[in-house]
Amino acid sequence: MIRFSSLTKRYGPLTAVRELSLEVRPGEVYALLGPNGAGKTTALRCLATLLHPSAGTASVAGVDVTADPVGARRNLAFLAASMGLYERLSARELITYFGRLHGMDEARLSGRVDDLVDLFGIRGFADRLCGRLSTGQRQRVSLARALVHDPPALILDEPTLGLDILSGRTIYDFIARERAAGKAILFSTHQMEEVDLLADRVGVLGGGVLVAEGTAEQLMQRTGAPNLARAFLALVAGAADR
Amino acid sequence: MSAWRVVAAKELRETLRDRRTLLMMVVIPVLLYPVLLIVMEQLLLFGQRNLEAEPAPVAVVGQSAPALIEILEREDGLRLVEIGEDPEAAVRADSVGAVALLGEEEPGDGTRPVTLLYDAASDRSNRARGELTAALRAWGDSALGDRLDARGLPRTFAEPVAIADSSIARPDEVGGYALGRILPLLLVVITLLGAFYPAIDLAAGEKERGTLETLLTAPVPPRAVVAGKFVTVALIGVIAAGLNLGSMILTFQTGALQLTAAIGLEVSLPWSAVLAIFVTLVPLAVLFGAVFLGIAVGASSFKEAQNALTPVYMVVLVPAMLPAFPGIDFGPGLALTPVAGVAFFFRDLMTGEADAALGALVLVSTTLYALAALAFAARAFGNERVLFGGGEAEVDARAVGPLAWLRARRGALGVPSSSAVLLFVSFVAVAFFWVGIRLQVSLGESGLLAAEWLLLLTPAVAFVVFGGFDPVRTLSLRRPTRTGVAGGMILIAGAMPLVWVLGWLQTFVLPVPWEMLEGLEQLVTADSAGRLAWLLLLLAVTPALCEEAVFRGVLLGGTGEAEPWRRVVLNGVVFGLFHLSFETVIRFLPAATLGMVIAWAVLRTGSIWVGVLMHFLNNGAIVVLASTPGVREYFSDPEAPPPLWLVPVAAVLVWAGARVLQRPAAAAGADTSNSSHDP
């Protein structure tokens, strides 16, 4: 569903991501772990067609992100930590706007917006401007916005950054529900407990390179660490030494 | 609905919910200017009435003149007062408005000198002077009449010619003339202001709020996003300008202004002219909208976009102000000048002298500029470096202490940000200008040497060291390859004669500052081997090291977020500005061109040493040529045409040098370019 094939991204003389290859299957949650500046955001932005890979490629639902970026976008939802809401649109207007950008016809869109409003408990503030919503409410609107076109792949860049425990819970529930619906989910994070809770598989990025990949247990076994946090530190330290 | 219309509809809805935009679009054009005009007029009238409410106090000092005193006492607008022995002190103390100092009348039918003492900086005194002058004229006329009567001559004897004004302009034409001086500027400014804030909000504001990423992951091509945003910005600009136009015309035509009626001005623009103005406003709003969007999208925040657009605003004001100046005729040249053409066409429409052909030229050229600006904006929206800063925008948040500001502007690559670099270069330029010139005046050639080392190289090194920047990346301190050195040498060998030709060509349009050139010639001419060595150190080695450190080092290194061609142009322009002097602008173009050539070579090779070598070769060649008898005379005359054969030879050398520098082997540190780094 989501595939990176030897993807490299350079900014002038610096290489942010080097020959990244990984795959996320339908119904699978894949966590991309890495310290600050490891290249997680760059990799996800390449997949979301925001950045052009310098070499290699990536695809979503079989659509190459470089050859057909617009086609790839139809199959993905990208959720950044900033949530990206328009302050002077109401929650309903915002979800409808993105539905229209995805080319949905008005009759289908209207029904879809109503479904999402109910699914994420937005009805009570659906007609309030996004600028007047609380963080938790904004987050629910943001999730509804991402799902409006019901894409098969979800890309979440540090989705719980800056959220309290309750709001974080909403994200966890969302990921679990979408996995059950057969979506391929790729998310980046620093939070080991998130990985423990949600991820089927983990990839560790260090210095732009995928230094390890597997289930949490496999990574712990490989490093001999008692938990994922220690395993992560060992893998990242190993990458830095190289 | 097509994607751009979806974007435009959303942007318009959001923009109309923004109080700041509504203020700029509706409140200011519709209410502020008319209200301001009326309030200003009322204040003016109030002040005038206030001044005229009391008779102006005047005094007469000197030889007695009973006839004058009689006239002054008869005048209602005057009050004759007694003053002390110091008339100037009395005027200064405001106890009298104006004083007539009467001299002694020459014997026979001579002239009596009268000096009027008043304070030109005081409204009361100016008014008293006017009243006193009228009274003195009446006195003079009366005295002349007495002399003519005494000789039995008619009063017309002293007035062989009677002059009377009779303007053929109708009051509405005079009104159009007055309007044509003010309104074009206001209309351009309002259109600009109308587009200014929406453009920032829709581009930089969207980046700042983090919504741009979300928007660009929707299945919509960037050109549709730009088109939607741009239609909104242009529409708001047009609405703001249209409302302003209507509001201003109504203000004048409904007689809301008493002053225009009092001086016989009539403002009645025909509807055809109003329509033509409105039609011309559309491409103007499109032009502003597209330029502003294209620039604003490169900024990372609303504030940064405001800073980036303010100079554009100032630049636009200059051509918009031109119609207010007398003596400028509107012709095809001005019609093709962006903004100026529109402003002049507006003026002519208001004065009723519009030329349809020039109007068409304005419309077509402004539309073409607008389309070019639109292409520029679309390109900016499709450029990931512009949108996401090329991964170099992260800052070191751990920086503390007095250098925190500087260090907070250090990108992930360890180079300073463009804002820090531009501030540094401005500081260096100001210091070099004020301190460097004093050093040169007091110490002569040694002062120039000291200025280069102390005010250019030292601050550049200090900036990099204390700013905590990576010296290799900031100053491009990489060892050049042989190919890079060879390419740089070939390129400068071709660029030098071309710059010479350029300098010669500009003597046709710019005055040649002979005194300055003679001074320069004396400075660069050596008459002994020792003197030549000293001049090479002073004028070739020193600038090559010190100026390169600032311009191709810090400035080029710190503008890495911009596209290469912008970096090169900016570098050349700043280098050219640095070589400007009060006397002339003649050095700007050659210096800017050389700056661009060297900057491009440094960018290609990644090594400042190539720039140092090119700069040394250029300046060194000038010193050697100026010191060679026989050649010196030829080169010292800027108006002497360069030999024609030089142009194709130089062009071939430039081409060859550029080709060599484009080879991968020209880039220094190509082996380190794949080094991994945290983005």
From the first residue on, what is the mean pLDDT of each consecutive set of 10 residues in chain B (679 residues)?
89 86 75 76 78 86 86 88 89 92 82 92 90 92 91 89 85 76 84 84 84 87 85 86 81 63 66 87 87 83 80 82 81 87 89 87 91 83 66 32 44 70 86 83 85 91 83 86 93 91 79 69 76 89 94 90 86 88 72 94 92 94 83 68 84 93 78 35
Contact A87 B217 (CB under 8 A): no
In a domain, B397, yes or no: no
Contact A88 B18 (CB under 8 A): yes
B146 and B187 in a common domain: no
Contact B392 A11 (CB under 8 A): yes
User: Which chain B residues are closer than 8 Å to A18 by Cβ?
Assistant: 676
Tokens found for residue B342: 């529109």
In sequence order, what DSSP letters do the residues of B282-332 get, joined into one string? HHHHHHHHHHHHHHHTTSSSHHHHHHHHHHHHHHHHHHHHGGGSTTPPP-H
User: Which chain A residues are closer than 8 Å to B394 by Cβ?
Assistant: 37
| Residue in A closest to B560 by C-alpha | A12
Domains and CATH numbers, chain A: 2-75+154-241 (3.40.50.300), 84-150 (no CATH)
Report the b/e string of B360-384 with b at 16+ CB within 10 A: ebbbebbbebbeebbebbbebbeeb
Neighbours of A227 (CB within 10 A): 11
B277 and B140 in a common domain: no
Contact A12 B413 (CB under 8 A): yes
Distance CA A205, CA B676 (A): 12
User: Which chain A residues are closer than 8 Å to B676 by Cβ?
Assistant: 14-15, 18, 207-209
In a domain, B48, yes or no: no
Contact A101 B3 (CB under 8 A): yes
Contact A86 B391 (CB under 8 A): no
Distance CA B222, CA B226 (A): 6
Contact B413 A14 (CB under 8 A): yes
Given CB atoms, is A103 within the 8 Å cutoff of chain B?
A: yes
Percent with pLDDT over 70 in chain A:
97
Q: How far is A207 from chain B (nearest CA, A)?
A: 6
Given CB atoms, is B20 within the 8 Å cutoff of chain A?
A: no
Given CB atoms, is B447 within the 8 Å cutoff of chain A?
A: no
In sequence order, what DSSP letters do the residues of B517-550 get, joined into one string? HHHHHHHH--SSHHHHHHHIIIIIIHHHHHHHII
User: Which chain A residues are closer than 8 Å to B219 by Cβ?
Assistant: 70-71, 73-74, 101-103
Q: How far is A64 from chain B (nearest CA, A)?
A: 14
B485 and B449 in a common domain: yes
Q: What is the distance, to the nearest Å, from the Cα of residue B524 to the centroid of all Cα atoms in its chain?
A: 34
Q: How far is B218 from chain A (nearest CA, A)?
A: 6
Element (DSSP H or E) covering residue B374: helix B356-381
In a domain, B161, yes or no: no
pLDDT at B18: 83
Residue B100 lies in domain: 53-155
Q: Of B212, B219, B221, which has the smallest distance from its Cβ to A102's Cβ?
A: B219
Domain end call among B387, B414, B441: B387
In a domain, B466, yes or no: yes
B145 and B16 in a common domain: no
Q: How far is A180 from chain B (nearest CA, A)?
A: 24
User: Residue A13: pLDDT band by 50, 70, 90 thresholds?
Assistant: low
| Residue in B closest to A71 by C-alpha | B219
Surface of A (43-102) touching B: CB under 8 A: 45, 48-52, 70-71, 73-74, 76-78, 80, 82-89, 93, 97-98, 100-102
Q: How many CA atoms lie within 13 A of B181 on its CB side?
A: 9
User: Which chain B residues are closer than 8 Å to A158 by Cβ?
Assistant: none
B503 and B355 in a common domain: no
| Residue in A closest to B412 by C-alpha | A37
Q: Of B7, B209, B676, which has the smallest distance from its Cβ to A207's Cβ?
A: B676
Contact A15 B674 (CB under 8 A): yes
Domain end call among B155, B188, B211: B155
In sequence order, what DSSP letters do the residues of B538-602 get, joined into one string? IIIIHHHHHHHIIIIIIIHHHTTTS-HHHHHHHHHHHHHHHT--SS-STTHHHHHHHHHHHHHHH
User: Which chain A residues are closer than 8 Å to B297 by Cβ?
Assistant: none
Neighbours of B652 (CB within 10 A): 12
pLDDT at B245: 80
The tally of domains found in chain B comes to 3
Q: How far is A221 from chain B (nearest CA, A)?
A: 28
pLDDT at B391: 43
B188 and B69 in a common domain: no
The phi-psi region of residue B667 (left if phi > 0; otherwise alpha if psi is between -120 and 50; otherwise beta) is: beta
Distance CA B366, CA B360 (A): 10
| Residue in A closest to B222 by C-alpha | A70
In a domain, B679, yes or no: no
Q: Are B176 and B277 in contact (CB under 8 A)?
A: no
User: Which chain A residues are closer than 8 Å to B667 by Cβ?
Assistant: none
B644 and B575 in a common domain: yes
Given CB atoms, is B209 within the 8 Å cutoff of chain A?
A: yes
B323 and B262 in a common domain: yes
pLDDT at B253: 67
User: Which chain B residues are closer than 8 Å to A41 by Cβ?
Assistant: 679
Q: How far is A220 from chain B (nearest CA, A)?
A: 25
Surface-to-core class of residue A144, CB atoms within 10 Å of its CB (0-12 exposed, 13-18 middle, 19+ buried):
buried
pLDDT at B363: 92
In a domain, B46, yes or no: no
Contact B10 A84 (CB under 8 A): no
In a domain, B393, yes or no: no
pLDDT at B389: 56
Given CB atoms, is B17 within the 8 Å cutoff of chain A?
A: yes
CATH value at residue B128 = 3.40.190
Q: How far is B4 from chain A (nearest CA, A)?
A: 9
User: Which chain B residues are closer than 8 Å to A45 by Cβ?
Assistant: 213, 388
Given CB atoms, is A145 within the 8 Å cutoff of chain B?
A: yes
B32 and B98 in a common domain: no
User: Which chain A residues are closer than 8 Å to B217 by Cβ?
Assistant: 48-50, 73, 76-78
Note the pTM of the prediction, 2 decimals: 0.61
Q: Best of A63, A88, A211 to disrupt the B interface by mutation (most B CBs within 10 Å)? A: A88
Q: Best of A100, A142, A210, A242 to disrupt the B interface by mutation (most B CBs within 10 Å)? A: A100
Domain end call among B387, B421, B455: B387
Tokens found for residue A214: 């597997």
Given CB atoms, is A132 within the 8 Å cutoff of chain B?
A: no
Surface of B (486-545) touching A: CB under 8 A: none
| Residue in B closest to A239 by C-alpha | B676
Q: What is the distance, to the nearest Å, from the Cα of residue A96 to the centroid of all Cα atoms in its chain?
A: 21
pLDDT at B408: 47
pLDDT at A232: 85
| A14-24 sheet: strands from edge to edge | A14-24, A2-11, A55-60, A63-64
B318 and B190 in a common domain: yes
Contact B17 A88 (CB under 8 A): yes
Contact A14 B677 (CB under 8 A): yes
pLDDT at B50: 76
Which residue from B71, B58, B59 is spatially nearest to B142, judged by alpha carbons?
B71
User: Residue A242: pLDDT band by 50, 70, 90 thresholds?
Assistant: low
Which residue from B593, B595, B613 is spatially nearest to B486, judged by alpha carbons?
B613
User: Which chain B residues are closer than 8 Å to A14 by Cβ?
Assistant: 391, 412-413, 675-677, 679
Q: Of A74, A80, A85, which has the smallest distance from its Cβ to B219's Cβ?
A: A74
B219 and B150 in a common domain: no
User: Which chain A residues are closer than 8 Å to B672 by Cβ?
Assistant: 13
Look up residue B676 and give its DSSP letter: B
pLDDT tens for A145-184 read: 988 999 999 998 888 777 777 777 878 888 888 999 999 9
Contact A73 B394 (CB under 8 A): no
In a domain, B28, yes or no: yes
ipTM for the assembly? 0.88
B328 and B222 in a common domain: yes
